[in-house]
């Protein structure tokens, strides 16, 4: 079932007319990945590379926040990397990335979460957090351990360079919280 779902996601072109270009669904992981990580949508760099977090956000996430190598991050035993929408949605009239279409979440992501037997969820960004925790304050979610499907769930701010203001406004995130999160991630990855 899982491999069939992955093949269906990878060949999906449902949003081609809406985007005005050929979508490239990006999803990475295995049915038994230890950590399921969900963000908003791939960037243009990821659209071109077809590998998640191969952009500035990825550098911050992997090397600064998690302090892990590409070998660990892209090891599908460790991370299942998805998003609210699997394709780069293009730019709006102001030059900002469009919001991901909700149809992708309904069509694919709910099924994915049912198929992966993970130990930990990591939700990245306020928009993704709002989908999973609609009634909670984003700041509260970031600074505490949460639960989704009865599994430990960590919420992170988006590691985009555009998010420096949020990081600066919340110094405890880099000074304390990310250290706790890094420890949790390492414990899950190294658990036998």
Confidence of residue 16 (pLDDT cuts 50, 70, 90): confident
Query: How does DSSP classify residue 2?
Result: H
* Domain 2-190 annotated CATH 3.40.470.10: yes
Write the DSSP assignment of 46-115 as a string of letters. HHHH-STT-SHHHHIIIIIII---HHHHT-TTTEEEEESSSS---B-TTSSBPPPPHHHIIIIIHHHHHH
**35-56 pLDDT per residue, tens:** 999 999 888 888 877 799 999 9
Domain residue spans of the chain: 2-190
Reply yes or no on whether the pLDDT at 97 is more than 90: no
**104-151 pLDDT per residue, tens:** 888 888 899 999 999 999 999 999 999 999 999 999 999 999 999 999
- Give the other-Cβ count within 10 Å of 115's Cβ: 14
């Amino acid at each position: 079932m899982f491999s069939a779902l992955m093949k269906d996601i990878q060949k999906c072109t449902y949003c081609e007319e809406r985007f005005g270009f050929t979508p490239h669904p990006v999803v990475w992981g295995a049915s038994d990945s230890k950590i399921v990580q969900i963000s908003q949508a791939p960037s243009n760099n990821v659209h071109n590379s077809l590998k998640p977090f191969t952009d500035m956000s990825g550098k911050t996430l992997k090397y600064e926040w998690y302090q892990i190598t590409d070998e660990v991050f892209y090891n599908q035993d460790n991370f299942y990397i998805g998003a609210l929408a699997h394709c780069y949605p293009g730019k709006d009239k102001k030059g900002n990335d469009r919001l991901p279409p909700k149809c992708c979440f309904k069509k694919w992501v709910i099924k994915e979460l049912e198929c992966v037997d993970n130990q930990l969820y990591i939700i990245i960004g306020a928009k993704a957090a709002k989908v999973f925790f609609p009634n909670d304050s984003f700041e509260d979610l970031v600074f505490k351990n949460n639960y989704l499907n009865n599994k430990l769930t960590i919420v992170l701010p988006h590691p985009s360079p555009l998010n420096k203001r949020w990081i600066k406004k919340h110094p405890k995130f880099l000074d304390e919280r990310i250290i706790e999160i890094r420890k949790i991630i390492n414990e899950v990855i190294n658990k036998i």
